[in-house]
Amino acid sequence: MSFPKYKPSRLATLPQTLDPAEYDISLENRRAQVERLAIRARLKREYLLQYNDPNRRGLVVNPALVRWAYARANVYPNCRATPKNSLLGAVAGFGPLILWYYILKTDRDKKEKLIQEGKLDRTFSLSY
Amino acid sequence: MLPGPYPRTPEERAAAAKKYNMRVEDYEPYPDDGMGYGDYPKLPDRSQHERDPWYDWDQPDLRVNWGETMHWDIDMYTRNRVDTSPTPISWDDMCKQLFSFVAFMMFMFWVGHKYPVYQPVAPKQYPYNDLYLERGGDPSKEPKLVVHYEI
């Protein structure tokens, strides 16, 4: 039975067993994995030292969280005006205004024309 | 040590990689097109669903370790929200199957609407000469004889 080829997409990534990088046992890859593990072990040690310190009274502050929150909050200083940015901003800013102006205007003009000709049913009903 | 502007020189890149606890080769900032990312690293767009559930994470609910750089969109990729884990068949196949089924059903409903099929029906037949008296016919006059059968 032949299976269709699994193509990864943005919301469905390639499973680890189908990924050729998983089976890469070259020296450089192994060295990279060892370095990453060393970093992770060092961080784990720092965390556990703080966590299990009997004199600690408060929270263990996660600097990665602080950096993440700071980066997300301070987007503006790193922004600058590029053509793509400005275009996107103009479209998002003025687009809806113009679009809704035209939709509402044409709809109301049509209604007004019908009212002037007396063709619209304008009987009043309070609740329905 | 807080995030800063986009790194331009290799030294700045090395310093940023050290700051974010990553290898210099792994560190890849977002492209510098003025969208406000600065030197924050661009990590692979993987949801927290995909991380090993059996590993001893420092924060098990977020599946994140202390000091490990968080993804820019980690609040989107939490285990309550967007899930990017592998599906049994690929996204394209799923889309194709769903949309072909929906299109086929819409087509069949349209055909059924255009060419309806039902049991043969005839106009309703009433007795007593089409209910002549019940419909207010004059009792003294003779009604027109109505016969609904053929012999």
Q: DSSP label at B72?
A: T
Q: Is pLDDT of A2 > 80?
A: no
| pLDDT single digits (tens) B83-140 | 999 999 999 999 999 999 999 999 999 999 999 999 988 888 888 888 888 888 788 8
pLDDT band at A99 (very low <50, low <70, confident <90, very high): very high
Q: Cβ–Cβ contacts within 10 Å for residue A69, how many? A: 13
pLDDT band at A109 (very low <50, low <70, confident <90, very high): very high
Q: Is pLDDT of A48 > 90?
A: yes
pTM: 0.79
Interface of B with A in 46-65 (CB under 8 A): 46, 50, 58, 64-65
> What pLDDT is stored for residue A71 in this prediction?
95
Q: How far apart are CA B22 and CA A36, in angstroms?
A: 8
Helix, coil or strand: residue A2: coil
ipTM of the complex in this document: 0.79
> What pLDDT is stored for residue A120 in this prediction?
79
What proportion of chain A, given as a percentage, has pLDDT over 70? Answer: 99
Q: Is pLDDT of B151 > 90?
A: no
Q: Is pLDDT of A52 > 80?
A: yes
Q: Is pLDDT of A1 > 80?
A: no
Contacts of B69 in chain A (CB under 8 A): 64, 67-68
Bigger pLDDT: A120 vs A77 = A77
pLDDT band at B142 (very low <50, low <70, confident <90, very high): confident
pLDDT band at B41 (very low <50, low <70, confident <90, very high): very high
CB contact under 8 A, B86 and A15: yes
B55 with B71: CB under 8 angstroms?
Answer: no
**Residue from A2, A60, A68 to probe the interface with B (highest B Cβ count within 10 Å):** A68
A68 with B77: CB under 8 angstroms?
Answer: no
Report the mean per-residue pLDDT for chain B. 91
Which of B15, B12, B50, B39 has the alpha carbon at shortest distance from A68?
Answer: B39
> What pLDDT is stored for residue A47 in this prediction?
96
> What pLDDT is stored for residue A86 in this prediction?
93
> What pLDDT is stored for residue A90 in this prediction?
95
Is B120 in the A-facing interface, judged by CB distances under 8 Å? no
**Residue from A16, A44, A72 to probe the interface with B (highest B Cβ count within 10 Å):** A72
CB contact under 8 A, B89 and A67: no
Contacts of A85 in chain B (CB under 8 A): 33-35
Counting beta carbons within 10 angstroms of the beta carbon of residue A9, is it exposed (0 to 12), middle (13 to 18) or buried (19 or more)? Answer: middle
Q: Is pLDDT of A72 > 80?
A: yes
Provide the β-strand partners of residue A9.
Answer: A12
Q: How far apart are CA B45 and CA A8, in angstroms?
A: 12
Mean pLDDT of B63-74: 94
For residue B111, give both structure tokens: 């055909």
Q: How many residues does chain A have?
A: 128
Question: A40 to chain B nearest CA, in Å?
Answer: 8
Q: How far apart are CA A94 and CA B80, in angstroms?
A: 34
Contacts of B1 in chain A (CB under 8 A): 63, 67
Amino acid at the residue B120: P
